[in-house]
Structure 1
Amino acid sequence: MQLKINGQEIAAYPSQFTVTTLDLDDSESSVRTADGTLNRDRIAVKRQIEMSWGVLKWSQISGILQAMDSVFFDLTYPDPMAGNFVTKTFYVGNRPAPFAVAQDSEIMWSGLKVTLTEK
């Protein structure tokens, strides 16, 4: 698998990687009629990607989080719908990073999770 953020390979590959295809509908014109029929106005199809990691060294988690620090960034990833690697612009939501253990001067982190949503 190939994962790149702004053209640079990701600092550590995730243990879980899920791509969700999202339909975005116009909230005003997408409505159900009295008989339950849906009148739908799809305005875009976007991707949402969830990634999580096991145990990471401090340098690895820092590299991942710093790569996603911009408001928007380009991600190259395998897209199941496209059937190929694609590059799209994403933003990241919350980034919980639970502390695992300290070993000498090295702090290990476990359970980093991120959700990326296409711009």
Structure 2
Amino acid sequence: MGQKTLISLLLGVMLAVPLSGAQAEEPNEPVSGSYQVLQGEILDVEMEEGESEGAIYHIRDLESSQTDRFYADAQRTTVQIGSSIAKVTEVLGGSTGTMIYRRVPEHPMPELIYVKVNQSLVRDTSS
């Protein structure tokens, strides 16, 4: 057997066999504080009571069709509609977009970090 054939055979075996333990290292649950991305439809936006001006978004994941509640902090969550920035309370149900969120121990629900609205329904707050 030639040297090139032996090297090709070894490379083929190395690529075909998964590294030992590589799959065992991945957690079943997202790591606390790690960022996740989803494409979703915002079904409803609940205004939070008090001075926080935050909101709770009910979002349906377009890939899995699962619905979950996400917290949007008025100071920490960025909502982008087109080229402008909106308040977390200005988005209406029915809007779709890309959401970046994370799960943190201090919140009972995932916290939205960034919302990029693709199809926009926006609450008029000018009056």
Give the TM-score, by structure 1 length: 0.28
Give the TM-score, by structure 2 length: 0.27
Greater C-alpha radius of gyration: 2
Normalized per residue, the structure richer in strand is 1
